[in-house]
Structure 1
């Protein structure tokens, strides 16, 4: 048994090299001075998988039994949708090739199905509307994240507010890496790690949003950041990073919840303004000036750089790049709200990946559906205007030719 374990370790001789994970001058034997219950161990991360599965099951129960009555209390209603008429050929094209056919593809579908261009376009528009998530589903996802972030933030604040590194960032590196780990911080780490793993497990069935790729990158970066910081005993600075992120996510998810309800527009707008301020301050000011500055500069006063130092800071910089991207979207929304007087949609993470038809397109379809009279009147006005322009052009040409002929006759007479 010992030989087999030793053989496996020889296959990966460089993974746990102490100069990768520990500062210069510190060895794994030094870490053994801490009791097993007081130091992080890589095998502890295996607990994140059952926790993630537990979060998935708990989320299903929450969205199935608790979110719908909450949504009804806030006035969440699904929009009535018209279903597309059954058409096996169009359905096959929709599911296997494209949800938005090009003009050439529409022409081929017209000959294949015996329908007009307008009927083909209308069918695809209705079919896309059927696949769009309803408001109750959106509300359930937002409510689930809201309650987790709220509980996680309050629990994290309770276990950190009386710790010295919460007020003095230099305490994050005192006696590093020989820092004992408290059980409250252990569970804080495991629950956050399990939650983000559950989001990654559900990413294929959740609503695909405008920033879908950025969200996936964010989940992977967060999981790697939590896992590595735990193994390298970056527990103190890691807890501050999690607490900082949860503070603004609470406001975002609460604004979404009220946005899906009816009669809560002012509440939604107020929460969005508060969220935007908190997000911009915590992610663009506090995070780089306090957290990243602490890991890049203050840590150098205690130990020399090593591989883990660079890797940890690279992950933090990736998160900061995502913060800048989301801040750009939030500032766009704030501009629309302050200068245009309306807040249309959540451009950060509540926009479906498929482009929706705008209101003008919907209005045009409604006008077409009213009947042929309107179309005929509109076409008649267009024809009349063109005839008027043509007539005026002809009259002007005749006058010009007449004047030219008179001038020629006068010159000949002279």
Structure 2
């Protein structure tokens, strides 16, 4: 059964135009073709990225955060309470009826229970320094990847004439620069997927996972089916705006509001140009219209375009958030990244001024509100 499934999966009619087989893509006459086995190197590269990232965050990002003045907010800790802690593990926002039940079980007032959950949620929210370290790592990668992508493509004929993407397809020899650009990009996205559960979670957490998975599938499929030329174009378009966003986040965490705002405007402009204009009217037109002028449509053609449309739907979703933030920015109402959770205001009252015998509250100082941040 496994052999049958394997043979069906690699059936040439799924991956290649009808008049070609895998035998046509064997290395010969000086031509070197991409092979599925090449993709295995992306996994050790992903773990190498994780190691490099760990070293970078400790020895580069953390000192840089101090230089730029990134400081964590002082957060009050919720007093240890087994009853409330057990409930918190399954539900972080109890309903009114649940608050009353917890009040009786913990011997706290309802007000004290509400305050305990508010402080407990704030404890779990990531610190500014953690966010800064993540943003600075992604900024370095996307900047270097964009420069490398332009260097790989700038002298290629298909960079200016998209019809060259499909010239002699799929009998197109693989270049060493394309190999490393692909493998390093794939390794990076694997590392993002491996770390997604431990990185800062935002409201578009599910969309981020979909994006990483779709990107990994696209890179892997385009490699095996020799869609390498258009694949490099897709990669460089995605890297062209991301480093502006990450740099805007870095300066936001440092409190450099004007610099953050200016970088966000640049990011929004580049994002709309590349993802909402160039991607559908340049890349999707290239992958949807030009191939059928040479070959009859086949499964791989439809599958590749379907995955590109998944990315485009995510682009539209994020463009909606970005334009919403831009509107609030222009009207002076933007307070923080639409995708981010914010610390909740903790205002002490008579019930919380001193610790009780049951450990209701750890202290009576108020939390500083973190709502003034304009970007995540």
- Greater fraction helix: 1
Contact 2:214 2:310 (C-alpha < 8 Å) held by counterparts: yes
Asked which structure has the greater CA Rg, the reply is 1
Q: 1:125 to 1:320 in 2, by over 3 A?
A: same
Whole-Å separation in 2 of the counterparts to 1:243 and 1:328: 22
- The Cα RMSD (Å) is 1.8
Q: CA deviation at 1:343?
A: 3.0
Structure 1 range deviating more: 192-201 or 101-110: 101-110
| Inter-partner Cα distance in structure 1 for 2:30 and 2:42 | 19
Look up the match of 2:309: 317
How high is the TM-score relative to the length of structure 2? 0.90
Q: Secondary structure at the match of 1:13?
A: helix
Q: How has the CA–CA distance of structure 1 residues 37 and 208 changed in structure 2, closer, same or farther, with 3 Å as cutoff?
A: farther
Instruction: State the match for 2:358 in structure 1.
Output: none
1:337 aligns with 2:329: yes
Q: Which residue is equivalent to 1:81?
A: 75
Q: Aligned residue pairs: how many?
A: 353
Q: Contact 2:112/2:352 (CA < 8 Å) preserved in 1?
A: no
Change over 3 Å in CA distance of 1:189–1:35 after alignment to 2: farther
Q: Taking structure 1 as reference, are residues 298 and 11 closer, same or farther at Cα in structure 2, changes over 3 Å only?
A: closer
Aligned partners of 1:269 and 1:343 also within 8 Å: no
Partner of 1:299: 291
Partner Cα distance (1:92, 1:250) in 2? 41
Q: Give a deviation string over 1:343-394, Cα, whole Å, max 9, x none.
A: 31122x4x13xx753xxx55xx3577899xxxxxxxxxxxxxxxxxxxxxxx
* Equivalent residue number for residue 279 of structure 2: 287
Q: Give structure 1 regions of 4+ aligned residues with deviation exceeding 3 angstroms.
A: 7-11, 33-37, 366-371
Question: What is the CA distance between 1:94 and its match in structure 2?
Answer: 1.4
> Is the CA contact (8 Å cut-off) linking 1:221 and 1:315 kept in structure 2?
yes
Q: Which residue of 1 aligns with 2:153?
A: 160
What is the TM-score with the length of structure 1 in the denominator?
Answer: 0.82
Structure 2 unaligned segments of length 5 or more: list them. 354-376
Task: Report the Cα offset of residue 13 of structure 1.
Answer: 2.4
Q: Is the 8 A contact 1:146 1:249 kept in 2?
A: yes
SS at match of 2:9: coil
Counterpart in the other structure of 2:104: 111
Give the distance between the partners of 1:22 and 1:370, measured in 2 at CA.
Answer: 69
> Which among 185, 192, 195 is matched to residue 188 of structure 2?
195
